[in-house]
Homo-oligomer: A and B are copies of this chain.
Amino acid sequence: MSEPAPISRFPVPPRSELPPDLQERFAAVEERSGFLPNVFAALSWRPDEARAFFATHDALMDKETPGLSKADRELIVVATSAANDCLYCVVAHGAIARIRARDPYLADQVAVDWRKAPLPARMRAVLDVAVRLAVSPVEVTAADQAGLREHGLTEDDVWDVGAIVSFFALSNRLAHFAALMPNPEFYLMGRVPKGH
């Protein structure tokens, strides 16, 4: 069994010293998930940045549209975070993707090689644009975006693809910079049917 690594390379203040709104939010997350994902702890020494981070996350990820489901949004995170070699985001959002997609395999398949994952043509087009925006943003064109519209994404969905990739470009780099480690809980989530 490997050594437990610290949550972050930067200070992690005790929960009791955080501003009340963050304490409340963290308690609510913990209540819902059964544990506090490490990203919350790692950002908490910078409350303003933390609040903006969570606000952006919620605006982009807690949204279900015909063109881009919650599961689809998580898979965008998994594919682009894998392209950025970001352990925390691949493991944490891989877990959420397994649950949202009700598929125990798809997140790992998308993380390692989204091109061969069993995805509909729409999501294949989405991930092609997303991964390109993540690793070589200058190469994304208006024609790429028009292609997504042809797959049924609305103008809002297209923006969301770009904004999710952009937000996790930030998130992946912060996680690398802080050497943020995933909570052990994430690795198993969504792999075993409930009630098992």
Contacts and interface: CB of A to CB of B under 8 A. Distances in A.
A28 to B, nearest CB: 19
Contacts of A99: none
A127 interface: no
Contacts of A173: 133-134, 137, 162, 165-166, 169
A117 B2 CA distance: 9
Contacts of A187: 104-105, 108, 191
Contact of A51 (B55, B112, B159, B167): B55
A26 to B, nearest CB: 18
- How many copies of this chain does one complex carry? 6
A169 B86 CA distance: 14
Nearest to A4: B118
A10 interface: yes
A113 B87 contact: yes
A195 to B, nearest CB: 14
> What are the 3 tightest A-B residue pairs by CB atom distance, in nearest-first order?
A162-B177, A166-B173, A52-B52
27 contacts: A2-B101, A2-B105, A2-B117, A4-B118, A10-B159, A48-B59, A49-B56, A51-B52, A52-B55, A52-B56, A52-B59, A53-B56, A85-B137, A87-B108, A90-B112, A91-B108, A108-B187, A115-B141, A116-B179, A140-B177, A145-B177, A162-B177, A165-B173, A166-B169, A166-B173, A166-B174, A188-B192
Interface of A: 1-5, 9-11, 46, 48-49, 51-53, 55-56, 59-60, 82, 84-87, 90-91, 101-106, 108-109, 111-113, 115-119, 133-134, 137-142, 145, 155, 159, 162-163, 165-167, 169-174, 176-179, 181, 184, 187-188, 191-192
